[in-house]
């Protein structure tokens, strides 16, 4: 089902004067006729490759089903749409432009000059159309019959795909579910899942994730950020590879002491010095430049005086050294920064920017890292609609969980694929889960895990995938109905975190369970750093242990930072997680303690960035 289409007019002329764009509106009209319910967005961009690429990538990341470009597919030097498309797509669909060209050739041989491309990025199909309105109308007729099926294949919307395949073949079984919805009177009135303590849940996640088989892959260093090194990496050369000057000044022989020196030569960074330096001589050097053999120190220019130069002042002939230099003064000897054979990256190290710079400097363009599980994110709920749909449908809300979790995992160094929204229908849930499991190792879904008659995740996982539910309820707030399961799918163990639909529950449980699991898989410490903080105000305790979202500030001369909660902690209120630096580990209320008074010291997990806390914003 085609839900969202973007039409991009690529044309310098139309970019300057939108009124000249006829092809874009024509495409809009044609798309509207075929997909009347689809959300259609149009933009006009100039014939700039980088800009077109940026827009294509943006819309692919925004879950658009179809991107249709018009213009820029010809032979002129400004025609770059195919190149931009090629740079963005992951897989080509060559038959689409071929079909369009064959059809257009019936009308004009000029169709031979079209360089249009078509291809896929993630779940978006991109098709280049020619720039002329007449050609657009002809070409859209060619592709119309396949657009919907193509989008369904990409959306992995197995319901529609199975239906189409069923029409083409007889009797292949449509994915159904063993879960029966109708007998609502038989619903659970008490959760059948024991309530686990947090530590039990953490131990289960740690133990089960040990089933992840550790694998190693080599990745380009610019794709290794946040990954874990799989083996030690050693320096193949000493750094610096030559004795290098630390200052701008003059390379000298230290035993010459103070006095006049003949300026024998100049060595700037990148130069290779010629003959060795003799006593009474010096060589002008820049920071980073190799010092000539014979020299054993550098005197900074501030400690010298010019004695003699050529009349045109282009050459220094003699300088006076005013301060007696020490041997090796301001010289970085060979290997001073990194000695030959030094360990640049330890096995198990988390790769950060500095490490990537060190690897680059040492001539490593790839690095072996521990393979990270592929993560898929799926939202569930009849009440959900796509964020880009302008108008809210009655009793609907926009899905905020998917993009939030994708970004949250990215914040912690993990990529993920977006598997869209599944409705609370057993067969559709089963199909969506099947589609997601086919593409991932860890599935994170949100919604439908509590006590509602349409909370189907647990039953569908257990009945349709034979999943082992390791836990289905945890004594925590937020996140009580969190579910962790594993199943065997297409011969591989799949790990499934079915988290509550409430955005804050999904946020907290992704941090505490999903990030933990991912760190386990790369054998990296699974715990977040813990610190002790003081409460800025009284905090009422919930009966369950609570992970309260807070920001910190660091009063002068105070031993502990002060934590301010981000307002009402209700698990539907995502604002309570916005800008959170820490999750406070608050105990459950007891008979004797229902409120933690101001200045109480509690432990906090450092799950966010600390440097932009603005507690002054949260004065209650």
Ligand X SMILES: Nc1nc2c(c(=O)[nH]1)N[C@H]1C(S)=C(S)[C@@H](COP(=O)(O)OP(=O)(O)OC[C@H]3O[C@@H](n4cnc5c(N)ncnc54)[C@H](O)[C@@H]3O)O[C@H]1N2
Q: 399 contacts which partner out of ligand X, ligand MOO, Mg ion, none, CB within 5 to 8 A by kind? A: ligand X
- For Mg ion, which residue of 450, 486, 607, 613 counts as binding (CB under 5 A)? 450
The encoded tokens of residue 526 equal: 């699974």
Query: Considering beta carbons, is residue 159 or 457 the nearer one to ligand X?
Result: 457
Chain positions 259 to 298 lying near ligand X, rule: CB under 6 A, are none
Task: Work out how close the CB of 587 gets to ligand MOO at its nearest, in angstroms, rounded to a whole number.
Answer: 16
Give yes or no for residue 448 binding ligand MOO (CB under 6 A): no
Binding piece for Mg ion, criterion CB under 5 A, among 18-26, 146-154, 447-455, 461-469: 447-455
Residue closer to Mg ion by CB (options 47, 455) is 455
By CB under 6 A, is residue 508 in contact with ligand X?
no
What is the nearest approach in angstroms of ligand MOO to the Cβ of residue 453?
Answer: 18
Q: At what angle do helices 23-34 and 133-154 cross, to 10 degrees?
A: 40
Contact between residue 359 and residue 427 where contact means Cβ atoms under 8 Å apart: no
User: Please, what's the b/e burial string for 51-75 (b: 16 or more CB within 10 A of its CB; e: otherwise)?
Assistant: ebbebbbebbebbbbbbbbbbbbbe
Q: How far is the CB of 384 from ligand X (least distance, A)?
A: 5
Phi first, then psi: what are they for 225, rounded to 5°? -55, 130
Closer by beta carbon to ligand MOO, 290 or else 500: 500
Contact assessment for residue 417 and residue 374, using Cβ atoms and an 8 Å cutoff: yes
Site for ligand MOO in 460-489 (CB under 6 A): 477-480
Return d(Cα 445, Cα 500) in angstroms, integer: 8
User: Which range of residues in 24-32, 117-125, 499-507, 523-531 is near ligand MOO by CB under 6 A?
Assistant: 499-507
Of 478 and 615, the one with the shorter C-beta distance to ligand X is: 478
Distance linking the first and last C-alpha atoms of the chain: 46
Among 448, 459, 561, 615, binds ligand X (CB under 6 A): 448
CB 427 within 8 A of CB 386: no
What is the separation of C-alpha 156 from the centre of its chain, rounded to a whole number of angstroms?
22
Q: Which is nearer to ligand X, 162 or 480 (CB)?
A: 480
* Closest distance of CB 594 from ligand MOO, Å: 18
Q: CB-wise, 351 or 499, nearer to Mg ion?
A: 499
- Asked if 416 is part of the footprint of ligand X (rule: CB under 6 A), the reply reads no
Residue choice 387, 452, 466, 543 for contact with Mg ion (CB under 5 A): 452
Q: Which own/partner contact pairs does 289-292 have at CB distance under 8 Å and 24+ positions apart? A: 289/244, 289/245, 290/242, 290/243, 290/244, 290/245, 291/243, 291/244, 291/245, 291/251, 291/267, 291/331, 292/251, 292/264, 292/265, 292/267
Q: At its nearest, how many Å lie between ligand X and the CB of residue 383?
A: 5
Long-range contact set of residues 519-522: C-beta below 8 Å, sequence gap at least 24: 520/205, 520/206, 520/209, 520/210, 520/212, 521/209, 521/212, 521/214, 521/370, 521/372, 521/373, 522/227, 522/228, 522/369, 522/370, 522/371, 522/372
Q: How far is CA 466 from CA 195, 370, 489, in A?
A: 22, 29, 9
Q: What is the DSSP string of 370-408?
A: EPPPPEEEEEE-TTEE-TT-SSPPTT-EE--HHHHHHHH
Residue 503 binding: pick among Mg ion, ligand MOO, ligand X, none (C-beta 5-8 Å cut-off by kind): ligand X
Q: How far is the CB of 600 from ligand MOO (least distance, A)?
A: 22
Subset of 538-597 contacting ligand MOO (CB under 6 A)? 571
By a kind-dependent CB cut-off of 5 to 8 A, residue 383 interacts, out of ligand X, Mg ion, ligand MOO, none, with ligand X
Q: Does 597 bind Mg ion (CB under 5 A)?
A: no
- Taking the complex as a whole, the smallest distance from the CB of residue 220 to Mg ion amounts, in Å, to 43
Do 3 and 39 touch, CB atoms closer than 8 A? Answer: yes
Check binding of 156 to ligand MOO (CB under 6 A): no
Rule CB under 6 A: is residue 381 a binding residue for ligand X? Answer: yes
Q: What minimum distance in Å lies between the beta carbon of 453 and Mg ion?
A: 9
Residue closer to ligand MOO (CB basis): 148 or 191: 191
Q: Please provide residue 279's backbone torsions phi and psi, each rounded to the nearest 5 degrees.
A: -60, 140
Determine the Cα–Cα distance for residues 70 and 47; give it in Å rounded to an integer.
11
Site map 470..489 versus ligand X, x via CB under 6 A: --------x-xx--------
- For residue 401, the partner it binds in Mg ion, ligand MOO, ligand X, none, with Cβ less than 5 to 8 A by kind, is ligand X
Instruction: Provide, rounded to whole angstroms, the least separation between the CB of residue 418 and ligand X.
Output: 12
Nearer to ligand X, 119 or 503 (CB): 503
Closest CA to 449 of 476, 473, 423: 473
CB of 156 to ligand X, least distance (A): 18
Biggest CA–CA distance in the chain, Å, is 105
d(CA 544, CA 508): 14
Closest CB to ligand MOO among 535 and 577? Answer: 577
User: Do the Cβ atoms of 277 and 294 come closer than 8 Å?
Assistant: yes
For 242, the token pair is: 């030559």
Which residues of the chain form contacts with ligand MOO (CB under 6 A)? 477-480, 500, 502, 505, 571
Kindly list the residues in this chain that would bind ligand X in the complex (CB under 6 A): 379, 381, 383-384, 397, 399-401, 446-452, 455, 478, 480-481, 500-503, 505, 571-572
């Amino acid at each position: 089902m085609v839900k969202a289409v973007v039409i991009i007019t690529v044309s310098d002329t139309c970019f300057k004067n939108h009124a000249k764009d006829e092809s874009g509106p024509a495409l809009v009209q044609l798309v509207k006729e075929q997909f009347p319910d689809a959300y259609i967005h149009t933009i006009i961009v100039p014939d700039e490759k980088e800009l077109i690429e940026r827009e294509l990538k943006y819309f692919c990341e925004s879950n658009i089903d179809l991107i249709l470009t018009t213009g820029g597919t010809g032979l002129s030097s400004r025609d770059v749409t195919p190149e931009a498309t090629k740079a963005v797509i992951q897989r080509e669909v060559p038959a689409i432009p071929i079909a369009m060209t064959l059809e257009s050739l019936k009308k004009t041989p000029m169709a031979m000059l079209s360089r249009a491309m078509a291809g896929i990025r993630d779940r978006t199909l991109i098709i280049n159309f020619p720039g002329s309105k007449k050609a657009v109308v002809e070409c859209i007729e060619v592709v119309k019959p396949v657009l919907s099926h193509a989008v369904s294949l990409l959306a992995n919307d197995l319901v529609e795909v199975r239906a189409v395949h069923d029409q083409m073949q007889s009797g292949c079984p449509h994915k159904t579910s063993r879960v029966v919805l109708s007998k609502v009177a038989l619903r659970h009135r008490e959760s059948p899942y024991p309530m686990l303590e947090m530590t039990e849940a953490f131990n289960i996640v740690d133990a089960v994730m040990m089933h992840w088989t550790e694998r190693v892959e080599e990745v380009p260093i610019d794709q290794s950020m946040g990954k874990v090194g799989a083996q030690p990496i050693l320096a193949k050369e000493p750094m610096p590879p030559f004795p290098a000057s630390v200052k701008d000044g003059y390379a000298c022989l230290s035993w010459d002491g103070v006095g006049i020196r003949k300026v024998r030569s100049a060595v700037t960074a990148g130069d290779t010095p010629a003959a060795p330096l003799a006593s009474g001589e010096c060589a002008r050097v820049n920071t980073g430049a190799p010092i000539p053999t014979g020299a054993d120190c550098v005197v900074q220019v501030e400690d010298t005086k010019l004695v003699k130069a050529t009349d045109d002042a282009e050459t220094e002939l003699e300088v006076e050294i005013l301060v007696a230099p020490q041997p090796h003064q301001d010289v970085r000897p060979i290997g001073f920064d990194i000695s030959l054979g030094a360990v640049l990256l330890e096995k198990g190290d988390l790769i950060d920017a500095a490490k990537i710079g060190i690897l680059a400097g040492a001539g490593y363009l790839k690095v072996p890292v521990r393979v990270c599980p592929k993560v898929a994110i799926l939202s569930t709920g009849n009440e959900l609609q796509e964020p880009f749909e302008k108008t809210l449908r009655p009793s609907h809300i926009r899905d905020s969980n998917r993009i939030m979790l994708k970004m949250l995992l990215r914040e912690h160094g993990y990529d993920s694929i977006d598997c869209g929204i599944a409705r609370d229908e057993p067969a559709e849930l089963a199909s969506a889960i099947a589609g997601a499991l086919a593409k991932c190792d860890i599935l994170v879904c949100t919604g439908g895990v509590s006590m509602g008659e349409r909370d189907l995740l647990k039953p569908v996982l257990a009945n349709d995938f034979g999943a082992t539910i390791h836990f289905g309820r945890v004594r925590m707030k937020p996140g009580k109905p969190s579910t962790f399961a594993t199943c065997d799918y297409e011969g591989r163990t799949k790990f499934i975190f079915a988290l509550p639909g409430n955005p804050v529950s999904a946020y907290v449980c992704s941090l505490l369970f999903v990030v933990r699991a991912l760190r386990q898989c790369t054998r990296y410490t699974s715990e977040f750093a813990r610190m002790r903080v003081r409460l800025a105000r009284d905090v009422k305790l919930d009966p369950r242990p609570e992970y309260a979202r807070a920001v910190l500030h660091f009063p002068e001369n105070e031993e502990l930072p002060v934590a301010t909660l981000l307002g009402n902690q209700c698990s539907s209120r995502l604002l309570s997680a916005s800008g959170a630096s820490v999750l406070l580990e608050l105990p459950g209320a007891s008979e004797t303690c229902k409120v933690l008074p101001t200045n109480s010291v509690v432990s906090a997990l450092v799950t966010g960035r600390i440097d932009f806390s603005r507690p002054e914003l949260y004065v209650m």
